[in-house]
Every structure is written in C-alpha cells, then in structure tokens.
Structure 1
Amino acid sequence: MDYFLYTTCTYIKLQFNILKTKFELLFTPSNSISQNTDDVITPAEFPAKFKELVTWHQKLIKAVDMLEYIFTKATLYNISASSLMICLTLFNATIIKDTALVLSFFVFLCVTYLQIYFLCYFGNIISDSSVGIADGVYNSKWYMMDAAIGRHLILVMMRSQKPCKLTAFGFTDIDLNVFMRILSNAWSYFALLKTFYP
C-alpha cells in the first residue's frame, strides 16, 4: 500500500507541475519562435481556456482529498508508532552484546527510518507542488490582459496559496518537518530509557 501512495503522490505532483506550466504559458504565443501577437490568447478566448485549467486544478484538489481520506488513519498509526519503534530498536541495539542480533536491529532501524522518511517526503512534495500553482499564475503574462482577467487569476492564486496536504488524521501535516520531529522524539525517549537502565 505504501508504494501505491508513493506512486499516486508522484503522479499528482507531476500533474500540478504541468498545470503550473500551463498557467505560465497561458498568455504566451503557442509558437514561441514567432513573435506574432496573433497567437496570444484574446480576452474572448480566455473564459474557455481558464475554465479548463480551473477544472483541472479542482480535479487535482479532489484527488489529494481522496488520497487523504484513504490513507489518513494508516498515516496516523505510522507516525505515532514510529517514534516508539525507533526508540526501542536503538535501545535494544545498544544493550545487546551479540553482533549478529545488533546487525538485525540495525537493518530494522534503517527500514523504519526509510518508511517514515518516504511517507513524509511524498507528503511534502504534494504540498509544495500544489502551492506552485500560485507561482505559475504569477509568472504568466497577466499584465498584458484586462483587469477583469487579472481578478480571475487572483482567485486561483488565493486558492493555490492554501496547500493541498496529507495529514495524520488531522493531527499533523505530513511533511519533512514531521520527520525531524519523529527523530527528535525518538532520541528523547531513547535518552530517557538509557538513564533508567543500569
């Protein structure tokens, strides 16, 4: 199931990046070599093209919401259990004298780190790429168009500044900051256990 999440997040990120590029090129001639201003989108053509891009954006937001609905409880379990597992694995690896057993704990620790890192990394790329739509709108040649078109673009920018994100059942956003907090908590629990162990 983790690989399905990673693949879906990557696909959604690519779709956000393509949409960002479409917004950037919205008012650019279709043939970038020609400097013919006839290729530039006209105010009459704008509503249909804008509606297409906004619909695309809404579908991507719904896709992230669906992904959040499917994985939010499993993500909460992974986030809450990972600090404890990392702490206990570190503790066992430091008190056991058998090298072969220590190596098996070390491998388990690396796999646990990677699982949590990938979960947080792919949550991070979803939020970063969704916010990138606002940059795409801003980098378009909106200043060449009417003020009414600019007002439509401002609405897209305002919606894009609220990132799409994956959460742990609403308790915390899944991003690389959470990964650092998990490692910090695991180390704190480990240090506490070491003080109690003779």
Structure 2
Amino acid sequence: MIKYHSIAAAQINILREKLRTLHTTLDDKFDENVRQGLHDCIRLHISIIRFLENINRVFSEVVLIQYISAMILVCNFVMQLLFLVDPLSTQFAWSCSFLLVILTELLLYHWFGNEVVVMSHRIGESCYLSEWYMFNSANKRMIIILMERAKRPLNVTVYKFTDVSLASFGTVMRWSYSLFAVMRNMYTKEI
C-alpha cells in the first residue's frame, strides 16, 4: 500500500509543478499553449482521482482488517509486556521487537497516506501560483474549476470510515489504549 501512496503523492507533485509552470511559455501562441497545458493538468488530476478511487475500492476492506488486527495486536503485546512476561526473558525482547514492527508498519502506512492528503491540499495553491491573471478568460475559467475541485482533498480511506493520515494513526493508538484499559481492568479483577 505504501508504494501506491507514494505513486499518488509523486503524481500530485508532478501536477503541482505543471500548474506552477503553465505561464512560462512566452511565445506568440501563449493562450493556446496554456490551454493545452491546462487540459493536460486536468487529465492528470482526473487520473489521480481515479487511481485513488481504485485504491480505495480494492484495498478498503483489507485496510479495515489491518486496522482491527493492529489494534488487537498492539493491545495484546502491551498486555503481555506489562503483566505476563518476565522483563529479563527472550520472550520479552521478541514481544518488544514485534510490537515495534507493528507500530512502524502502521506509522509508515499512515505517514504516506498523510502525504497524499497534504499534497492534494497544495494543488489549489499551485493553481494560484500559475500566474493565472495573465491567462485569457477561457483559461481563467478552467483554472478556477480546477481550483474548486482541488478544495476537496484526495485521500485513501479505511472502508469509507476514516482517511489514512497521521490523525487516524493517533485514533488507532487511542482505540488500542481503550481496549488495553478494558482488558487490564478485567485482568486485575480476576487476580
């Protein structure tokens, strides 16, 4: 999944760079070149949107399962580390390393998902930096339409439940802690 997030973020950066450099054509066909450049940018933007929709359609359920299993695993390993395993044993070291791997995987997944969201927020800024005021009225309308569409951020979702970002990573950690608190209360009542 990380590679798909990286591809989407890279394509958004390419789109942003194309938008910023639309005005650099200074020849007798300026308006025609800008129009063609805008059409290319709009096609690229639409293809990025479709790419992310396909990612959401294909991987949404898998990501939901990953969220739930990660929450349970984190809670389980923290419970083991605090109550069940001797801190000087090799099982403790293995549990710590496995917990670290799970958290790193989740963090990387959310980090790159967050990059897609952050980069998509900057598309409108790149439209504005294209020096749109030099364009003819038809090209100005196209850039305004692109800016309006860019107000809705692009993201990868977890079964249309939440987006994959650093904020949702914090949510997964809070859910894990809540589950841990419930399990800890149950465990301490049994003792």
Normalising by structure 2, we get a TM-score of 0.89
Matches within 5 A, 1:142-161: 142-161=132-151
User: Are 1:62 and 2:50 counterparts?
Assistant: yes
Count of residues in Structure 1 that have an aligned counterpart in Structure 2? 186
Structure 1 residues 32-181: aligned runs within 5 Å = 38-39=26-27, 42-98=30-86, 99-181=89-171
- Cα distance in 1 for partners of 2:171, 2:32 equals 51
After superposing the two structures, state which structure 1 stretch, 185-194 or 19-28, moved more.
185-194
Q: Using the alignment, how far apart are the partners of 2:146 and 2:181 within structure 1?
A: 48
Partners in 1 of 2:85 and 2:125 — Cα distance?
55
Supply the distance in 2 between the matched residues of 1:169 and 1:189 (Cα, whole angstroms): 21
For residues 44 and 61 of structure 1, do their structure 2 counterparts lie closer, same or farther at Cα, with a shift above 3 Å needed?
same
Query: Cα RMSD over matched residues?
Result: 1.7
Instruction: Give the CA deviation at 1:55.
Output: 0.9
1:14 matches 2:23: no
Give, as a single letter, the amino acid of the residue that structure 1 aligns with 2:68: S
**CA spacing shift, 1:21–1:101, aligned 2, 3 Å:** same
- For residues 142-171 of structure 1, what are the alpha-carbon distances to aligned partners after superposition, in whole Å with 9 as ceiling and x for unaligned? 112223322211100111111121111111
C-alpha distance in structure 2 between counterparts of 1:97 and 1:58, whole Å: 52
Decide whether the 8 Å contact of 1:96 with 1:102 is kept in 2. no
Tell me the CA shift for residue 77 of structure 1.
Answer: 0.5
Counterparts of 1:40 and 1:17, CA distance in 2: 29
**Structure 1 counterpart SS, 2:160:** coil
Distance, in Å, in 2 between the alignment partners of 1:152 and 1:179 is 36
Whole-Å separation in 2 of the counterparts to 1:189 and 1:53: 46
Listed as ranges, the gaps of 5+ residues in structure 1 are 30-37
Which secondary structure state, in structure 2, belongs to the residue aligned with residue 44 of structure 1? helix
Q: Which amino acid aligns with 1:175?
A: S
Q: 1:87 to 1:73 in 2, by over 3 A?
A: same
Rounded to whole Å, the distance in 2 between the matches of 1:118 and 1:142 is 37
Structure 1 residue 97: deviation in Å? 4.0
Query: Following TM superposition, by how much is the alpha carbon of 1:102 offset from its aligned partner in structure 2, in angstroms?
Result: 1.4
Distance, in Å, in 1 between the alignment partners of 2:100 and 2:48 is 33
Q: 1:35-86, CA deviations, whole angstroms, 9 ceiling, x for partnerless residues?
A: xxx4486223332222112111111111111111221111010112222211
Identity, % of aligned positions: 23
Q: Deviations over 1:160-196 (max 9, x none)?
A: 1111211111111111111001111212222332233
Mark the runs of 5 or more structure 2 residues left unpaired by the alignment: none
Match of 1:140, SS state, is coil
